[in-house]
Structure 1
């Protein structure tokens, strides 16, 4: 009789649920910010939440972790916040770099239990690129990429010299078939 009464209570105890959900994949642009939101079941509000990187769950490196409160924590370019009323973990990665592309995990530290629980999130950082087209007879003319909207005060980031390629600062031009592409790089 006591066993029958105790059994249903196990499903309602805080920490008895371990469900966490989030996006499978997210994309961001270089030098921009990316926000990931993971949702968790009630009962885990005061547990620490973390964001780690690594393809293998057992070896992922924790980048940032909460204290078990709603306050935001930040380390380098990554911050994490736990909204305990909405049961949402929000991770923000700033000033994205191409090398930030990889497998990450959004998780909950399950103190006293053998393993934490998390969800895998694949992060892809895309390069910013622009492709410009020009007509016949313009192949030998200089092409320029400008860093300002106002043409009169434009700072030239890169320009061609009639050759097929040019590179300067964080911009790269590659001309082919009456097009040239500017790719912003780190």
Structure 2
């Protein structure tokens, strides 16, 4: 807990008591490294909260997916004491910082939240994700972006608020923007960011095969 440095990173506010899954992305070079989720203001003195060589510790679990170049951390029943800086590390002899750190604040009134950030839908169907934001972020730009750096975003401040099969709608009265992805394809699976101003929330979309009707 405590203050966080003002450098590159991802600012995430979580609802007290909720569970959330968070991605850490890495280059294929690091696929054989032990992956670690580490808490602390400084990277060289942080405390390992979860590691792929001991995947479950208390309320935190970690899963590595080398084929996708991402490991995911699930934090269950988060509490205010979980607030702080978290690092995505790879260990192989020494250690490497694999991705931008997360600056996490746990509160009763998060700036930005998604009720269920692990979404599953069938091929060809539509899926809608609801991204909630606090009143103080009402006038900030809302965005839906693929997780890859420099990838496409749909923005609330652009005319039409849609791109290809993706539409973004803002309801300022309720403090939510909704993103709908239509005609789901396999290439739509993966991680996305809901963001408002400097706050963001990760969302994962899984695309399954159509079930055969009897």
- TM (norm. structure 1) is 0.51
Cα 1:44/1:131, change in 2 over 3 Å:
closer
Post-superposition CA distance 1:130-163 (Å, at most 9, x none): 287xxxxxxxxxxxxxxxxxxxxxxxxxxxxxxx
CA contact (8 A) 2:111 2:137 kept: no
- Residue aligning to 1:19: 111
Aligned equivalents of 2:212, 2:126: Cα separation in 1: 20
Structure 2 unmatched ranges of 5 or more: 1-108
- Residue aligning to 2:174: 86
Higher relative contact order (CA 8 A, sep 6+): 2
Aligned equivalents of 2:208, 2:125: Cα separation in 1: 10
Report the aligned-residue RMSD: 2.3
Higher normalized strand content (fraction of residues): 2
- Residue aligning to 2:208: 126
1:80 CA displacement: 0.5
Aligned equivalents of 1:88, 1:131: Cα separation in 2: 35
- Residue aligning to 1:106: 194
Structure 1 unmatched ranges of 5 or more: 1-16, 110-115, 133-186
Structure 1 stretches of 4+ moved >2 Å: 59-63, 129-132
- The structure that has the greater radius of gyration is 1
Cα 1:18/1:108, change in 2 over 3 Å:
farther
Which of 66, 72, 87 in structure 1 is aligned with 2:156? 66
Cα 1:131/1:92, change in 2 over 3 Å:
closer
Aligned equivalents of 1:21, 1:75: Cα separation in 2: 23
